């Protein structure tokens, strides 16, 4: 794979918001998102959604384990994006639930396309109820990616280490 070196911005000015949660993101989802961003000549904004337990104030820092997952996964995404020549501007957003964090993210970030990974048995993602809610609420283009077909194909996922 040819390294292209990182860029800080996108020539097209387009922004693709890629929210994700949990400790894994499937390679298939990442590959598709990066190919899409490259084809659009867009800036990829991967955003980890951290959940704050109800016994803590919403202003509290995210639990350390969650922050570690976020930091590791964002680092991995940035490395893969650099390999593809896709500029990246990462985020970590928090909320009581993934949906709450997603609401905050949508309020805070500009984007042209929202790419959301669907949950599967092999990787973390948004469940059907969250995706239905998102399709109703989120303005702009929404792209839902289901990482792997449920046909027993080989499964891989990138995990936070």
Partner 1 sequence: MTKEAQSVFRPEVLRTALIGSLTKLDPRVQVRNPVMFVVEVGAAITTIGWLIQAFGGEPLGGGDEPAWYTFTVAAWLWLTVIFANLAEALAEGRGKAQAQALRAMRSETIARLAYGGEKPASELTDEAPQALAERVLALITPKPPSQRLVRRAWRSAQRLGAELDLLYVQPPGAPPRGDEREQLEALRRLASVLGAAFIVEEGDDLVATAARVAAERGTTYVLIGRPEPRTGLRRFGESLPDRLLRKLPGVDVRIVADRSRRLEGMR
Question: Which residues contact partner 1 by CB under 8 A?
Answer: 1, 3, 5-6, 8, 50, 54-62, 64, 67-68, 71, 74-75, 78-79, 81-83, 87-94, 96, 108, 110
Q: How far is the CB of 63 from partner 1 (least distance, A)?
A: 10
Nearer CB in complex with partner 1: 6/40: 6
Q: How far is CA 147 from CA 5, 25, 58, 108, 150, in A?
A: 27, 9, 31, 27, 9
Q: How far is the CB of 84 from partner 1 (least distance, A)?
A: 10
Q: How far is the CB of 139 from partner 1 (least distance, A)?
A: 18
Nearer CB in complex with partner 1: 40/97: 97
Nearer CB in complex with partner 1: 107/136: 107
């Amino acid at each position: 794979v040819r390294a292209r070196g990182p860029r800080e911005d996108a020539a097209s000015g387009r922004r693709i918001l890629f929210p994700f949660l949990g400790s894994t993101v499937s390679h298939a989802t990442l590959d598709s998102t990066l190919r899409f961003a490259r084809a659009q000549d867009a800036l990829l904004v991967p955003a980890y959604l951290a959940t704050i337990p109800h016994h803590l104030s919403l202003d509290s820092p995210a639990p350390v384990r969650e922050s570690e997952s976020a930091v590791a996964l964002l680092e991995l995404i940035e490395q893969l994006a650099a390999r593809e020549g896709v500029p990246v501007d990462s985020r970590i957003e928090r909320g009581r639930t993934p949906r709450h964090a997603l609401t905050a993210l949508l309020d805070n970030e500009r984007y042209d396309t929202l790419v959301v990974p669907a949950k599967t048995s092999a990787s973390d993602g948004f469940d059907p109820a969250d995706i239905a809610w998102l399709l109703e609420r989120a303005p702009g283009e929404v792209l839902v990616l289901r990482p792997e077909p449920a046909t027993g194909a080989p499964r891989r996922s990138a995990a936070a280490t």
